Amino acid sequence: MTRRAADGGTPLAPTRRVHVALADRSYDVLVGAGLLGDAASLDSLRAAGSAVVITNEVVGPLFLERTLRALKPRFASVFVHTIPDGEVHKTWTTLNGIFDALLARHFDRNTTLFALGGGVVGDITGFAAACYMRGIDYVQLPTTLLAQVDSSVGGKTAINHPAGKNMVGAFHQPRLVVADVDALASLPERELVAGLAEVVKYGAVLDDEFLGWIEANLSNLLDKDHGSLIHAVTRSCEIKAAVVAADERESGQRALLNFGHTFAHAIEAGVGYGAWLHGEAVGCGMVLAARLSARLGLIADDRAGRIEAVVRRAGLPVQPPHVDASVLVALMRVDKKAVNGEQRFVLLEGAHGAVVAAAPEDLVARVIDDARAP
Amino acid sequence: MTRRAADGGTPLAPTRRVHVALADRSYDVLVGAGLLGDAASLDSLRAAGSAVVITNEVVGPLFLERTLRALKPRFASVFVHTIPDGEVHKTWTTLNGIFDALLARHFDRNTTLFALGGGVVGDITGFAAACYMRGIDYVQLPTTLLAQVDSSVGGKTAINHPAGKNMVGAFHQPRLVVADVDALASLPERELVAGLAEVVKYGAVLDDEFLGWIEANLSNLLDKDHGSLIHAVTRSCEIKAAVVAADERESGQRALLNFGHTFAHAIEAGVGYGAWLHGEAVGCGMVLAARLSARLGLIADDRAGRIEAVVRRAGLPVQPPHVDASVLVALMRVDKKAVNGEQRFVLLEGAHGAVVAAAPEDLVARVIDDARAP
């Protein structure tokens, strides 16, 4: 389908559709411009029961009006629940506030939750849907680049625990993802850049041609060119969809999507959650993982250099924060992907490949220290 | 296999094995005597990683020693976490206490939780396993008759919310269920009787021949005869396993297992949780559902009378509590099985059948009032 701007004039970029093939849990990701306010975006949903939009106090004022316009023709009742903004609120308290609101209004299993916002709103709404009355439907309406290319697709839901991020959660697939690049117009540059880290990740680990496209179109992406954004989001979602379809619960291939993330989780915890955006930590984490791969002799130095160059050009940090390497290594040990206390890394291998493997802690620390040198 | 008593003497009843066929989530239910202390009961588990036993302050002193004896040869580390006893503790606070304990000791995904106790321990441990790091393995070691014949099989896990029982939870199948009838020796009579309600339920709704066997063996069951208990638990689990295999997430046939439960949930809420045991409420609920079926002309009066007689002979209540019928009806409306605000009942139909259907609220209230008459 081709969409036109609200004045009926200029045709906008056509909507792209990515299918996530998971048997009875299959769903589509729609990527385009002007989708949030268009009831046609919801055509694939059962039009029955109630809709509850979960959003936050920052996103709501920007996108709620158009979202409700699309929802109201299709649902008997539409209710909005607003949560506070920020990763620090991805907690049981906020989750239980959602349950309280749903139960107080007697929402039954024939209710669909709509997550309108970034990764925090998506993760907590998905987890609420996973647990409410043992599981109800939900739809992702991601409004940040990070959420559009990563967290809204694949069914990982969670809340944080004081002992670690995403420690309590579930695999629960959405019924639909609607990624409207119009929503990125108001996104602060720092968050746009953070989202690009995950885009780079797909290219770096799984699609060398896409990495080349990112390198060639980086300035268009930073300028929020619609066509470039739609291609970046679509290709990212296609890669993620293929990986998730092959390995929904991350027993194998899906782990490759954690490239840079072992370092990133330690960085985020080491500097204190919120000081670095997740995407910033992933940017730096990819540089460190690439350097580690080179130190282990798995790749030539120029592949590591290429990753570092694109991360730097995107405006992401390439040097680790001022946290002792031994502290970062210790934080990696408690990551939930550790197996029997041994931390594993996604490492690059050969010209285009990647593997999951352990690495000696002293070498990991040395790579961190070396990356800090000017 | 045939087991012998600890002194090597008298052969005990042979262990029965019920298979729950759910593709990659399949598992066995073992039913027998002396199973908890026997490492062979755990033969089907991956012998790797850590074991964490979740039990309560009442059950632990009775069965923990033998359980640890069976676990220690098979797991690198075995840890015990004790929760308070009682339905009132099936809450987020208790659940989070489990997460705190697991995270403080850095238990990773290669950890298996063992639920040693009744339904509360099983439900909360299963839900903890469903959510911890987005899902780890767990094993049910049910020590009450109710848990052995019902809650430990089928993967329904949950905690309560102030607005209702089991409102927050997940479907998460265990890796193994070990039902040791030896554990029932110390079970108070009131709890044994409550467990019989669910046994009667299987016969009443799904297996007329089994209902006949229950009628003929009720006094043996009340006397805790090992052979009779093993047969009752095994046959109950066989019926439940077949239903769950056909309809894991209760979109159809599995709803039949809720016979008596719409009334029961309202009774439990109406008298205040804990005043009636769940099984007691189910006993009375089955009587009411049978009477409602007769009033609707779905069954002959003698089928309803037969249900009432066996419930009464088991020592279960057949009269509803002193709560106004209108209050009970209102409580049914908020049950999580309500669809668009209309409550549905499992009703008996014909000579042996059962259906799920709505019923007029005024008739439901009349059935409750009539059952109260002496």
Tell me: pLDDT of B109 over 70: yes
- CA nearest to B123 within chain A: A134
A4: in domain:
no
Residue B2 in any domain: the answer is no
Q: What is the average pLDDT across A309-326?
A: 97
Would you say B116 and B54 are in contact if contact means Cβ atoms under 8 Å apart?
yes
Is the Cβ of A313 closer than 8 Å to some Cβ of chain B? Answer: no
Same domain, B219 and B306: yes
The one-character DSSP state at A369 is H
Q: Under a CB-based contact definition with an 8 Å cutoff, are residues B115 and B178 in contact?
A: no
Per residue in A77-118, pLDDT (tens digit) is 999 999 999 988 999 999 999 999 999 999 999 999 999 999
| Whether residues A201 and A168 fall in one domain | no
Q: Is A254 one of the catalytic residues?
A: yes
Q: Has residue B166 been placed in a domain?
A: yes
Lowest-pLDDT range, A5-14, B72-81, B269-278?
A5-14
Q: Most B CBs within 10 Å: which of A131, A151, A166, A344, as the mutation test of the B interface?
A: A131
Check residue B289 and give left, alpha or beta (phi > 0: left; psi -120 to 50: alpha). Answer: alpha
Q: What is the mean pLDDT of residues A13-37?
A: 95
Q: Are residues B85 and B210 in the same domain?
A: no
C-alpha A341 chain-centroid distance: 26
Q: Within this chain, do residues B160 and B240 fall inside the same structural domain, yes or no? A: no
ipTM: 0.91
Q: Does A224 participate in catalysis according to the annotation?
A: no
Which of B137, B170, B187 is a domain's end point?
A: B187
| B175 and B201 belong to one structural domain | no
**Per-residue pLDDT averaged across B178-197, rounded?**
97
- For residue A77, the chain B residues in CB contact (below 8 A) are none
B172 and B196 assigned to the same domain = no
Domain contains A150 = yes
pLDDT of A339 over the 70 cut: no
pLDDT-based confidence at residue A336 (cuts at 50, 70, 90): low
A225 and A175 both lie in a single domain: no
Core vs surface per residue B206-241: b (16+ CB within 10 A) or e = bbeebbebbeebbeebbeeebebbbbbbbbbbbbbb
Whether residue A10 lies inside any domain: the answer is no
| pLDDT the model gives residue B9 | 45
Tokens of A270: 């080491």
- The C-alpha of A161 sits at a distance from chain B's nearest C-alpha, in angstroms, of 8
In B, minimum Cα distance to A101 occurs at B163
A333 vs B348, which has greater pLDDT? B348
State in Å, rounded, how far the first CA of chain A is from the last one.
Answer: 51
Q: Where are the beta strands (DSSP E) in chain A?
A: 16-20, 27-32, 50-56, 77-83, 111-117, 137-142, 156-161, 164-171, 176-180, 344-349, 353-358
pLDDT mean across residues, chain A: 93
* Banded pLDDT at A340 (limits 50, 70, 90): low
C-alpha distance from B22 to closest chain A C-alpha (Å):
15
Is B1 part of any domain? Answer: no
Whether residue B96 and residue A92 make contact (CB cut-off 8 A), yes or no, is yes
B182 lies in the same domain as B194: no
CA distance linking residue A351 with residue B346, whole number of Å:
62
Query: By CB neighbour count within 10 A (0-12 exposed, 13-18 middle, 19+ buried), where does A288 fall?
Result: buried
Kindly state whether residues A51 and A125 are assigned to the same domain. Answer: yes
Question: Are B107 and B206 contained in the same domain?
Answer: no
**Rounded CA separation A275/A160 (Å):** 16
pTM listed for this prediction: 0.93
Q: Is B174 in the same domain as B195?
A: no
Which residues on A lie below 8 Å from B333 (Cβ)?
106
Q: Give the CATH number of the domain where residue B285 resides.
A: 1.20.1090.10
CATH number reported for the structural domain that contains residue B69 in this entry: 3.40.50.1970
Span B261-309, pLDDT tens digits: 999 999 998 998 789 999 999 999 999 999 999 999 999 999 999 999 9
Number of domains within chain A: 2
- Which residue of chain B has the CA closest to A165? B133
Phi, psi for residue A226 in degrees, rounded to 5: -55, -50
Same domain, A139 and A249: no
A373 pLDDT band, cuts 50/70/90, is: confident
CB atoms near residue B169 (< 10 Å): 26
B11: left (phi over 0), alpha (psi -120 to 50) or beta: beta
Residue A164 included in any domain: yes
Residue-number span of the structural domain to which A236 is assigned:
190-372
Q: Which of A187, A203, A237 is the last residue of a domain?
A: A187
